[in-house]
């Protein structure tokens, strides 16, 4: 019996050690279920709860893809369900999460108002402040968004429970204003959501790289390199990484190669290619097929 108890204790200790080996980030998709959040202003567009969930999943996919060997992603919800705010915070606190990121969309009585905001509890929330500033920096300088900056309790004149009661650095990101027609369309687009999620990811990545000495991993499947001139089909250029699980990428049905241009003069330093052809005619044949789908502006690139 004692031997059995010792085995249980040893197993529990081992599991506890493993569970604490990774940084834990809770991604909270705001609203859900009976609580839709802000309603859509344009027919056919998503309500806030659905936008929040879509962007949250994309953010989680980026973190898992690029930092998954060192960061564990936990979602407050992955479906359209209602979860009380207290439960969201309690879940993060009980698991001793390291970070809490809540995703929302904004609204205003003035349809001209647009841009991103990152909320923290107060000025004493130093780590939350540093993380929020990194994310707003990415929104402004890399994603080309109108950053409205960091917002405190004194700015909004009320508490936000998920920020006030979190025992870890916590931020709430307002990704854009659904009451602005242009921004609502952007929030509802696949590319818009990808760029928003990638900006939040980059801000989070840059922050934890310093705080936790985190390194990036090289995800995805790249096409093999052959000697001599080869032709690849460029399907996209982006200011930040785009998930290789993107439905538009998957629709091609072939491996996608991501190439980061470190000395680029253009802000579009992430490029995505398909194929690795010695025969230009074969490359053109695939190019025509790809142009019939989601990537009508795709073109051939020759690599020496």
- Which residue, chain included where needed, has tokens 């998954």? 68
Read off the pLDDT band of 245 (50, 70, 90).
Answer: confident
Q: What pLDDT, on the 0 to 100 scale, is given for residue 246?
A: 82
Confidence of residue 226 (pLDDT cuts 50, 70, 90): very low
**pLDDT for residue 153:** 93
**CATH code of the region 21-212:** 3.40.630.40
Confidence at residue 91, expressed as pLDDT on a 0 to 100 scale: 96
pLDDT greater than 50 at residue 122 = yes
Q: Rg of the Cα trace of the chain? A: 22
- 50-68 pLDDT, tens digit per residue, is 999 999 999 999 899 889 8
pLDDT at 7: 40
Q: Which residue has the higher pLDDT, 58 or 8?
A: 58
Task: Give me the percent of the chain exceeding a pLDDT of 70.
Answer: 87
Binned at pLDDT 50, 70 and 90, residue 251 comes out as confident
| Residue 69 pLDDT greater than 80, yes or no | yes
In this prediction, residue 255 carries a pLDDT of 86
If one compares 269 and 67, the residue with the highest pLDDT of the two is 67
- Going by C-beta distance under 8 Å and a sequence separation of 6 or more, which residues neighbour residue 136? 116, 117, 118, 147, 149, 150, 203
pLDDT of residue 254: 85
Architecture category of domain 230-303 in CATH: 2-Layer Sandwich (3.30)
pLDDT of residue 257 exceeding 70, the answer is: yes
According to the model, what pLDDT value does residue 95 have? 96
Counting residues of the chain whose pLDDT is more than 90, the rounded percentage is: 59
Lowest mean per-residue pLDDT among 34-48, 111-125, 290-304: 290-304
Binned at pLDDT 50, 70 and 90, residue 217 comes out as low
Q: Which position has the token pair 């027609």?
A: 181
C-beta of residue 244 within 8 angstroms of C-beta of residue 252: no
Position 48 scores a pLDDT of 98
Mean pLDDT (the chain, rounded): 86
Write out the residue limits of the CATH 3.30.70 domain(s) in the chain: 230-303
pLDDT category of residue 2 using cuts at 50, 70 and 90? very low
For residue 148, what is the enclosing H or E element? strand 147-151
How confident is the model over 235-263, as a mean pLDDT?
83
* pLDDT for residue 222: 39
* 238-273: b (≥16 Cβ within 10 Å) or e: bbbbbbbbbebbeebeebbbbeeeeeeeeeebbbbb
pLDDT tens digits for 90-100?
999 999 999 99
Numbered ranges of CATH 3.40.630.40 in the chain = 21-212
Question: Which pLDDT belongs to residue 1?
Answer: 46
């Amino acid at each position: 019996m004692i031997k059995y108890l010792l085995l249980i204790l040893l197993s529990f200790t081992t599991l506890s050690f493993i569970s604490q080996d990774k940084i834990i980030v809770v991604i909270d998709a705001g609203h859900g279920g009976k609580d839709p959040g802000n309603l859509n202003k344009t027919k056919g567009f998503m309500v806030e709860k659905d936008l929040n969930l879509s962007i949250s999943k994309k953010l989680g996919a980026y973190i898992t893809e690029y930092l998954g060997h060192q960061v564990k992603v936990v979602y407050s919800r992955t479906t359209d369900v209602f979860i009380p705010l207290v439960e969201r915070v309690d879940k993060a606190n009980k698991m001793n999460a390291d970070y809490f990121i809540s995703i929302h969309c904004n609204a205003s009585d003035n349809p001209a108002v647009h841009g991103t905001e990152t909320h923290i509890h107060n000025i004493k929330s130093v780590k939350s402040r540093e993380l929020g500033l990194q994310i707003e920096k990415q929104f402004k300088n890399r994603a080309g968004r109108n950053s409205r900056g960091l917002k405190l309790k004194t700015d909004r004149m009320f508490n936000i429970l998920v920020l006030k009661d979190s025992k870890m650095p916590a931020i709430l990101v307002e990704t854009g204003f659904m009451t602005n027609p242009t921004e609502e369309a952007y929030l509802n687009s696949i590319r818009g959501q990808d760029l928003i999620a990638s900006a939040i990811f980059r801000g989070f990545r840059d922050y934890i790289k310093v705080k936790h000495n985190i390194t990036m991993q090289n995800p995805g499947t790249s096409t093999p390199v052959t000697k001599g001139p080869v032709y690849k089909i460029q399907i996209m250029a982006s200011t930040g990484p785009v998930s290789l699980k993107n439905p538009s990428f998957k629709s091609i049905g072939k491996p996608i190669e991501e190439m980061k241009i470190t000395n680029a003069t253009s802000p579009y330093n992430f490029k995505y290619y398909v194929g690795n052809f010695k025969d230009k005619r074969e490359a053109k044949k695939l190019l025509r097929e790809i142009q019939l789908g989601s990537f009508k502006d795709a073109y051939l690139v020759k690599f020496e």
